[in-house]
């Protein structure tokens, strides 16, 4: 597949990018080079190669999923400008 100036203009229009006329030909050349590299990838032998999501095979560390209350209420409330009985005190906003 080759890209010409008209195709670049159409792509720019669809992407809502304003391109001056003198930029269309150089961009067509660059897009053709990119497509050439992509076509080269199709020539690679990938039979028997497993798909991968990363080049480094890692597993995310897992921890047990336990529900706790955190047991740090006093530390959290200590940050409040004003508190009462373990709760934040805020100004009344509704009359």
Residue-range definition of the domain harbouring residue 18: 5-41
- Give a yes or no: residue 49 inside a domain: no
**How many structural domains compose the chain?**
1
What are the pLDDT tens digits along the chain (95 aa)?
789 999 999 999 999 999 999 999 999 999 999 999 999 988 988 888 888 877 787 888 898 888 887 888 888 899 899 999 989 999 888 87
- Give a yes or no: residue 79 inside a domain: no
CB-CB neighbours of 32 under 10 Å: 13
Query: Are the C-beta atoms of residues 12 and 23 closer than 8 Å to each other?
Result: no
Q: Which CATH number does the domain housing residue 27 bear?
A: 1.10.20
- Give a yes or no: residue 66 inside a domain: no
- Give a yes or no: residue 78 inside a domain: no
């Amino acid at each position: 597949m080759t890209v010409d100036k008209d195709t670049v203009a159409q792509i720019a229009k669809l992407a809502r990018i304003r391109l001056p006329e003198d930029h269309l030909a150089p961009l067509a050349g660059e897009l053709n080079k990119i497509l050439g590299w992509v076509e080269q990838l199709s020539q690679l032998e990938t039979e028997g190669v497993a798909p991968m999501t990363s080049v480094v095979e890692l597993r995310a560390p897992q921890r047990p999923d336990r529900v706790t209350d955190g047991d740090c209420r006093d530390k959290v409330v200590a940050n409040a400008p004003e508190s009462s009985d373990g709760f934040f005190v805020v100004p009344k906003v509704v009359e």
